[in-house]
């Protein structure tokens, strides 16, 4: 039997730290990048899938993968191709920063097989972009999308952010509308959360943030505006044109297996949750000593797998299939979560339509309160 699997490649370099970001990333230095790429290659080559696995999706995330040169990207893609069986039409995504979009880059990405670009647009309002500490302006987003579409791929996804200091319903709505005008195939939205240790959280007293109430209104507004323009919500924070859902992310939400390579990358493989060292030097060192760069590896129980799958699956608008859990995983959701289901059916946060269990629309923005009863 052929098992589908996704591959994630982490590129932990950024030119400058954004004001809200607490991901692990380091400044771009060519020595370090060279070193890192060889290590990535090694890590991929050292990995030998023991079964028949077929790679359906590849995702370059970061950090800022669009900083990579052609040569680096090609090296990694080649390594993957050499080690794995690749599906007929794999989805290959690259996260890109608008400032890195040039004709040359776009062409090169196409040559490497990139067929989906996830663009970190965030906002179409320059002062908001500045508050976020992004390096691009509104203008650069327009030209970036044009170039990508002409030289790389029509399959563009855009990240947009709300809950930004001083953002109003008006500026948020206009960001949404500008994004729609550019005709991407997919939009991901994120509500700004203040993470400890970030610039914005240190300076939070100097900014006025939209409150929870406002954030929830912005969320609703987004759903309305996007649906009107035929972007269908298929997950709590994700919208797409028909047939352009992110296959890579769908695999996470459906509880599928994936392999992560690179510093701080995560894998779920043969019922193990594995995470690599996030410190890039530690990562490099381990590989230099021919060790797997793994910080932690944990075999999860069937029960934990089930609850992860429920919690992730309920994020999808389609919800989860009760019969699938019963037939494939020998787990009777309706029996095991009888009280929880009853509580949330009654309060109107969950519904059951035929075989599908889903969050209702009013549940989406408070979903953790519901999902936490399933862990």
Partner 1 sequence: MKKEHIRNFCIIAHIDHGKSTLADRFLEHTHTIEMHTVDQILDDMDLERERGITIKAHAIRMKYNYKDKEYTFNLIDTPGHVDFSYEVSRSIAACEGAILLVDASQGIEAQTLSNLYMAVENNLEIIPAVNKIDIPAAEPDELKEELAELLGVSEDEVLLVSAKEDIGIDKLLDAIVEEISAPLSKYSETRALIFDSQYNQYRGVVVYIRVFDGALHKGDKIKFFSTDNIFEIEDIGHFGLKMEPCEKLMAGEVGYIIAGVKQVREAKVGDTITLADNPTSHPLKGFKHPKPMVFSGIFPMDGANYNNLRDALAKFQLNDTSLVYEPENSLILGFGFRCGFLGLLHLEIFKERINREYGISIISTTPSVEFIIKKKNGDEITIDNPAQMPEQVEIESIKEPIMDCEILVPTEYIGNIMKLAQERRGVQKNMEYIDKKRVSIHYEFPLIEILFDFYDKLKSVSRGYASFDYEYREHRIADVQKVDIIVNGEKVDAMSFIVHSDKAYSWGKSITEELKKVIPKHLFKIAIQAAVGNQVIARSTINALRKDVTAKCYGGDITRKRKLLEKQKKGKKRMKEVGNVSIPQEAFLAVLKADRS
Site residues, partner 1 (CB under 8 A): 8, 10, 23, 61, 188-191, 193, 212-213, 215-216, 236-237, 252, 258, 260, 264-268, 273, 275, 298, 304, 308, 311-312, 347, 349, 364-369, 371-375
Which residues share a beta bridge with 189? Answer: 160
Of 324 and 373, which has the nearer Cβ to partner 1?
Answer: 373
Of 61 and 293, which has the nearer Cβ to partner 1?
Answer: 61
Question: Which does residue 64 touch among ligand SF4, partner 1, none (CB within 5 to 8 A, set by kind)?
Answer: ligand SF4
Of 106 and 200, which has the nearer Cβ to partner 1?
Answer: 200
Question: Which does residue 273 touch among ligand SF4, partner 1, none (CB within 5 to 8 A, set by kind)?
Answer: partner 1
Of 75 and 248, which has the nearer Cβ to partner 1?
Answer: 248
Report the alpha-carbon angle 132-107-86, nearest 5: 95
Query: Is the bond into 63 cis (omega within 30 degrees of 0)?
Result: yes
- Residues 203-212: contacts with CB within 8 Å, 24+ apart? 207/131, 207/165, 207/166, 208/165, 208/166, 209/163, 209/165, 210/162, 210/163, 210/164, 210/167
Of 47 and 151, which has the nearer Cβ to partner 1?
Answer: 47
Of 304 and 324, which has the nearer Cβ to partner 1?
Answer: 304
Which stretches of the chain bind ligand SF4, using CB under 6 A? Answer: 14, 17-18, 21, 23, 25, 62-64, 97
Question: Which does residue 14 touch among partner 1, ligand SF4, none (CB within 5 to 8 A, set by kind)?
Answer: ligand SF4
Question: Which does residue 375 touch among ligand SF4, partner 1, none (CB within 5 to 8 A, set by kind)?
Answer: partner 1
DSSP 195-247: -TTSHHHHTGGGS----HHHHHHHHHHHHHHHHHTTPEEEETTEEESTT---H
Instruction: Give me 56's structure tokens.
Output: 């359906």
Strand order in the sheet with 272-276: 232-235, 238-240, 186-191, 156-162, 116-122, 85-96, 53-62, 3-11, 258-261, 266-269, 272-276, 294-299
Asked whether the beta carbons of 156 and 148 are under 8 A apart, the reply is yes
Question: Which does residue 365 touch among partner 1, ligand SF4, none (CB within 5 to 8 A, set by kind)?
Answer: partner 1
Of 98 and 256, which has the nearer Cβ to ligand SF4?
Answer: 98
Question: Which does residue 25 touch among partner 1, ligand SF4, none (CB within 5 to 8 A, set by kind)?
Answer: ligand SF4
Helical (H) or strand (E) element with 278: none
Question: C-beta of 129: minimal distance to ligand SF4 in Å?
Answer: 12
Question: Which does residue 18 touch among partner 1, ligand SF4, none (CB within 5 to 8 A, set by kind)?
Answer: ligand SF4
Question: Which does residue 236 touch among partner 1, ligand SF4, none (CB within 5 to 8 A, set by kind)?
Answer: partner 1
Asked whether the beta carbons of 121 and 141 are under 8 A apart, the reply is yes
Question: C-beta of 134: minimal distance to ligand SF4 in Å?
Answer: 7
Can you tell me the distance from the alpha carbon of 360 to that of 144, in angstroms, rounded to the nearest whole number?
Answer: 36
For residue 167, give Cα distances in angstroms to 126, 164, 211, 358.
11, 5, 11, 31
Question: C-beta of 29: minimal distance to ligand SF4 in Å?
Answer: 15
Question: C-beta of 215: minimal distance to partner 1 in Å?
Answer: 5
Helical (H) or strand (E) element with 178: helix 169-181
Can you tell me the distance from the alpha carbon of 310 to that of 315, in angstroms, rounded to the nearest whole number?
Answer: 9
Q: What are phi and psi of 174, to 5 degrees?
A: -75, -30
Question: C-beta of 62: minimal distance to ligand SF4 in Å?
Answer: 5
Of 63 and 163, which has the nearer Cβ to ligand SF4?
Answer: 63
């Amino acid at each position: 039997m052929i098992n589908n699997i996704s591959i994630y490649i982490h590129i932990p370099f950024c030119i400058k730290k954004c004001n809200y970001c607490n991901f692990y990333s380091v400044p771009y230095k060519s020595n370090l990048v060279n070193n890192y790429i060889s290590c990535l290659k090694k890590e991929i080559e050292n990995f030998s899938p023991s079964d028949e696995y077929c790679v359906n999706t590849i995702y370059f995330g970061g950090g800022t993968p669009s900083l990579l040169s052609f040569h680096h990207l090609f090296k990694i893609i080649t390594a993957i191709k050499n080690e794995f069986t690749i599906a007929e039409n794999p989805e290959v995504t690259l996260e890109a920063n608008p400032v890195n979009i040039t004709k040359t880059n776009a062409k090169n990405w196409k040559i490497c097989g990139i067929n989906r670009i996830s663009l970190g647009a965030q906002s179409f309002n320059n002062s908001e972009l500045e508050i976020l500490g992004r390096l691009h302006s509104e203008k650069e987003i327009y030209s970036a999308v044009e170039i990508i579409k002409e030289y790389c791929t029509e399959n563009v996804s855009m990240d947009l952010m709300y809950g930004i200091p001083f953002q109003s319903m008006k500026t948020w709505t206009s960001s949404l509308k500008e994004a729609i005008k550019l005709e991407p195939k997919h939009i991901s939205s994120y509500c700004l959360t203040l993470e400890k240790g970030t610039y914005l959280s240190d300076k939070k007293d100097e900014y006025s943030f939209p409150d929870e109430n406002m954030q929830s209104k912005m969320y609703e507004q987004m759903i309305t505006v996007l649906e009107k323009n035929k972007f269908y919500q298929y997950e709590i924070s994700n919208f797409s044109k028909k047939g352009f859902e992110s296959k890579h992310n769908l695999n996470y939400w459906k509880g599928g297996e994936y392999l992560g390579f690179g510093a701080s990358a995560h894998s779920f493989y043969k019922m193990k949750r594995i995470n690599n060292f996030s410190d890039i030097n530690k990562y490099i060192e381990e590989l230099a000593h021919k060790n797997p760069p793994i910080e932690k590896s944990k075999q999860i129980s069937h029960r934990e797998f089930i609850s992860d799958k429920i919690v992730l699956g309920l994020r999808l608008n389609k919800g989860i299939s009760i019969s699938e859990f019963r037939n494939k995983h020998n787990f009777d959701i309706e029996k095991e979560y009888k009280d929880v289901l009853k509580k949330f059916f009654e309060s109107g946060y969950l519904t059951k339509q035929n075989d599908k269990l889903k969050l209702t629309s009013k549940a989406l923005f408070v979903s953790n309160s519901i999902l936490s009863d399933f862990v």
